Amino acid sequence: MKASSELRHLSELALRQRRQGLVKLVPPLAEILRGSLVERYVTCGHPACKCARGKRHGPVWYLTVTLGRGRTTGGIIAKENLPQVRGWIENYHQVKDRLEKISEINRELLRRQRQRRRKE
């Protein structure tokens, strides 16, 4: 069942309560990060190094962020920062998911307001 059709069966009070519940579940906005973590093994270019014989350096963790059409940016993430960065990326996905659910509820509430005005 689609979420929007599920929402049609709820009372306005239930919709408003669900919306407030979602708002309370939004992670702190100061702790979000959009991007992806990529694990890489790299070569340094020195001919005598072990990586020249196939044993690459790593893992090295990169944060990559798509900026727009064909443009990305990023940087190396220190090993000690990995848990924090993973948490921030997860928070970003939670914020995005909850905002979409809140928007669905708001669209349903607006639809009901239009229906009431038409009946008046």
Q: Could you read off the pLDDT of 34-82 as tens digits, one per residue?
A: 999 999 998 988 989 988 888 899 899 999 999 988 899 999 999 999 9
Residue 120: per-residue pLDDT: 73
What is the residue type of 100? Answer: E
* pTM (two decimals): 0.82
What is the residue type of 75? Answer: G
Confidence of residue 3 (pLDDT cuts 50, 70, 90): low
Distance CA 31, CA 24 (A): 15
> Which pair of structure tokens corresponds to residue 12?
């306005």
Distance CA 35, CA 92 (A): 9
- For the chain, the domains span 31-119
Residue 19: per-residue pLDDT: 97
Distance CA 42, CA 62 (A): 12
SS3 60: strand
Distance CA 69, CA 51 (A): 34
77 backbone dihedrals φ, ψ, rounded to 5°: -110, 125
Q: What average pLDDT does range 75-95 have in this prediction? A: 97
Specify whether the CB–CB gap between 87 and 98 falls below 8 A. no
